[in-house]
Amino acid sequence: MSLTGERKEEYLDTPRGRVRIRTHARPEFIASLQLDEGMGIFAAPHYPPSREKKALERLASNPESNIIVAYTEEGVIVGFVAIAPPSPAERWGKLSGKGLLEAMAIEVSRNWRSMGIADKMLECAVNDDFFADKIVICTGYSWHWDLESTGLSKEEYRRMLLRYLEKAGFLYYDTDEPNVNLDAANFFTAYIGPGVSEELHQEFERLLFKDPDWAGFRGRPRTIAEVLGKNGLMPGGSAPAGGETP
C-alpha cells in the first residue's frame, strides 16, 4: 500500500480565469499562497481564514494526507479538498494507517462557486493512483453547510453535495455513528478504491455498526442515485452523515 502520492497538476478554465488544481500540495506550497477573501467566511470569526490555512499546512505535512488545492495564476487559493487520516478519537480512526482516509473538508470560495471547481478537485482526487488501494470516507453534517449564502434549503444543499460525491464514485452507507444520526439530512459516504483488499473492506464494514442491538448487521452500500430517489431525501426517514461548502 502506497503511503505517499505523486504530485499532479491540472487546470480548469472558468469565466473568471484559469484555475490550477494541484494534488498532494506540500505545506510550503500552501504557505506561499493567499486565501481568497471568499474562503472561510461561513466559519469566521470562530475559525478565521488564517487559522484555516494553518490547518491545511498541518494536514499537508502528514505523508498519508492528500490536500488538493485550487488556485489562480496570481497565487490565490479559491478551493481545496482536505483528505487525511481520521482522528484516533473517532471510530474510523481504528483503520488510520491501514488504508482508510477521510475527506475532512471540501470548500470553494463564495466568489468562485458554480464554476465546476469542486467537481474538478474531486475528479483529480479519485483519479489519483494514490487512492487505488484505499477507502475514503466523507460525512455530511448539516450544521456545517453554508445555507445562507447559497439560498438553498437543507434538503437542496444535501442533494447538491451528494451529487458531487456521486460523480466522484462515492457510495452511500448506513451507520449507527451518533453524529451522523443527529439529523436526518446528514449522510455517510465512502469511495472504495478498485484495489482495496478484502480484509480492509471487511474491517470497514464492521465499523459501520457498533451498537449491540445491531451486532452482526451488514447494510449493503447503495448508489447515491438510489438514495436520492425523486426528492433527494432519505427514503423511510432513516438517518445516515458531514460538512463542506462547494
Tell how many helices (H) and how many strands (E) occur in the chain: 7, 9
Residue 138: the pLDDT is 96
Residue 231: the pLDDT is 47
Cα dihedral across residues 185, 39, 24, 164: positive or negative: positive
Q: Which CATH class is domain 9-237?
A: alpha beta
Residue 216: the pLDDT is 63
User: Tens digits of per-residue pLDDT, 1-51?
Assistant: 444 557 889 999 999 999 999 999 999 999 999 999 988 765 555 566 778
β strands within the chain, DSSP E: 9-14, 17-22, 34-35, 66-72, 76-84, 100-108, 135-140, 171-172, 187-192
Residue 156: the pLDDT is 94
- pTM of the predicted model as reported, rounded to 2 decimal places: 0.86
Q: Mind giving me the DSSP string for 214-237?
A: GTT--PPPB-HHHHHTTTTSPGGG
Residue 5: the pLDDT is 56
Residue 12: the pLDDT is 96
Q: Is the pLDDT of residue 215 over 70?
A: no
Q: Phi and psi of 147, rounded to 5°?
A: -70, -35
User: Tens digits of per-residue pLDDT, 149-166?
Assistant: 889 999 999 999 999 999
| In the chain, where the domains are located | 9-237
User: Tens digits of per-residue pLDDT, 82-108?
Assistant: 999 999 989 999 998 999 999 999 999
